[in-house]
Chain A
Amino acid sequence: MSSVSKWGNLAQYDWSVMSPEFIILGVATLLSLLDLFMNKKADRRILAWIGFLGIIVAGYFVVRNTGQNVVSILNDMYRVDGFANAFKLLFLSGVAFVFLISLTYIDESKNIRYSGEYYYLILTALLGAMLMASSSDLITLFVGLELLSISSYILVGTRKQHIHSNESAFKYVISGGIASAITLYGMSFIYGLTGSTNLYVIAERLSSVFYDGFDFLVYFSFFLMFVGFAFKISVVPYHMWAPDVYQGAPTPIAAFLSVVSKAAGFAIVLRVFLISFGSLVSFDMETGQQGSVLVNTLSVYIAIVAAASMIIGNTLAMRQVNIKRMMAYSGIAQAGYLLVPFATLTVLMFEQTMFYLVAYLFANMGAFAIIMLVNRDQKTEDLKSFAGLYHRAPWMAIAMTFFLLSLAGLPITAGFFGKFYIFMSAIVHSSYWLAGIMLATSVVSYYYYFGVIRQMYMRPGKTEAPLKVPASIGLVVLIALVGTVAAGIMPDPVMQYIHHKFPLQQMFQPGGQ
Chain B
Amino acid sequence: MSGEFIAFFVLALLTIGGAVFMISFTRVVHMVVALAFTFLGIAGLYVLLEAEFVGVTQVLVYSGAISILMLFGIMLTRHDATEVTERKGPFKYIAFAGIAVFFIVAFLGIQSAHWGDQQADFTKQNNVKEIGIQLFTHYVIPFEAVSVLLLVALVGAIILAKKEAEDE
Contact = CB atoms under 8 A, between A and B. Distances in A.
Contact of A143 (B106, B109, B149, B160): B149
Contacts of B168: 110
Contacts of B110: 217
Given A214-B113, A217-B109, A220-B109, A160 B160 contact: yes
A32 B113 contact: no
A33 interface: no
Nearest to B149: A147
By size class, the interface of chain B is 20 to 34
B138 interface: yes
Contacts of A78: 141
B85 interface: no
Contacts of B117: none
A139 B146 CA distance: 10
B114 A77 contact: no
B153 interface: yes
**Main secondary structure on chain B at its contact with chain A?**
helix
A143 B152 CA distance: 13
A188 B164 CA distance: 42
A147 B152 contact: yes
Contact of A127 (B106, B137, B148, B160): B148
A445 B99 CA distance: 34
B140 A74 contact: yes
**Main secondary structure on chain A at its contact with chain B?**
helix
B92 to A, nearest CB: 17
A98 interface: no
A113 interface: yes
A55 B30 CA distance: 48
A508 interface: no
B155 interface: yes
A114 B159 CA distance: 7
B113 A217 contact: yes
A77 B140 CA distance: 9
B138 A75 contact: yes
A157 B160 contact: yes
A139 B156 contact: no
Interface string A140-173: 1001101100110110011010000000010000
Interface of A: 9-10, 25, 28, 32, 73-75, 77-78, 110, 113-114, 117, 121, 124, 127-128, 131, 135, 137, 139-140, 143-144, 146-147, 150-151, 153-154, 157-158, 160, 169, 212-214, 216-217, 220
